[in-house]
Structures are given as C-alpha cells and as structure tokens.
Amino acid sequence: MKRLPTILLAALLVAPLALAGCAGDKDAPAGTDTEQGEDGDEEADDADDVAAGDAAHGAEVYAGTCSSCHGPDAMGIEGLGKNLHANAFVADRSDTEMLAFVKTGRPASDPLNTTGVDMPPKGGNPALSDQDLMDVIAHVRTLK
C-alpha cells in the first residue's frame, strides 16, 4: 500500500519539474523577444543607462540652467529660447531622442534651427549629467 502513494508522489513531483522545463523553454524565446524589444524600444534602452527622469529634481535643473533662455515659467523669451509648454518637438520625441537633442543643442547654423538663435549643448552647462538631463526632460514633459 505504501508503494502506490510513493509513485503518485513521484509523479506529482516530476510533473511540476516537467512543466518547469516547458516553462523554461517558453522563457527562452520570451527572453529573446525582450531583447528585441529593448533594441527597438528606445525607452527600454534608457533604463540601461540612466533611471527614468525625476521631474522634481528636473525642475531644479531647469531653474538653474534652462530658465535663463526659456523663461522661469518656460513660456519662452523672445530672441533667447522657445516656449516649452505643450511643445510638439518634445512630444514627438522619445526620452532617448530628447537626451541626444539636449546634449547636442541646436546651433543657429543648423538647418533645423527655427529662430536663428543658438540652443547650446546641455543648455550651456557642461556639468549636467545624463541623469540631470533625463530629470529635466521629465520636468519639461510635465509642462502642458
């Protein structure tokens, strides 16, 4: 009488292992999918390098570096910087693209420049880290 339950027990123990094996097999392609997703998804790439932006810290970065041209309220200053509220350029770009833009700026010589005024790299503050810039981007995204 003791044999049968032991076999049943063994079957019960083996079954989850077999299922785990199957799940493991399923995980492999899923993992591959995730990698493909990261390659294609720029927001996922951000997570590898810098954490998601902290808008509260970004507001401080903005006040210290960006406000001199874009205005303390980010409504823009004629001849210095553009209005960043409900900004289509910002809305159309991923965080990665925004990071690349803010790091590079947009000189007046750039054909894409719209005002004939320089946007300097990092707003002219080379001390800003990528994380600072991600934070300021998160702040700019809160401007409606």
Q: Rule CB under 6 A: which residues touch ligand HEC?
A: 65-66, 68-70, 80-82, 84, 87, 89-90, 102, 106, 113-115, 117, 119-120, 122-124, 136, 140
Query: How far is the C-alpha of 102 from the C-alpha of 104, rounded, in Å?
Result: 5
CB of residue 101 vs ligand HEC: minimum separation in angstroms?
A: 6
Closest CB to ligand HEC among residues 55, 117: 117
CB of residue 13 vs ligand HEC: minimum separation in angstroms?
A: 59
Closest CB to ligand HEC among residues 38, 90: 90
CB of residue 45 vs ligand HEC: minimum separation in angstroms?
A: 20
Closest CB to ligand HEC among residues 41, 103: 103
The structure tokens listed for 24 are 């493991």
Q: Are the C-beta atoms of residues 60 and 128 closer than 8 Å to each other?
A: no
CB of residue 40 vs ligand HEC: minimum separation in angstroms?
A: 24
Q: Are the C-beta atoms of residues 109 and 29 closer than 8 Å to each other?
A: no
Cα dihedral sign for 66, 72, 73, 75? negative
Query: How far is the C-alpha of 60 from the C-alpha of 53, rounded, in Å?
Result: 13
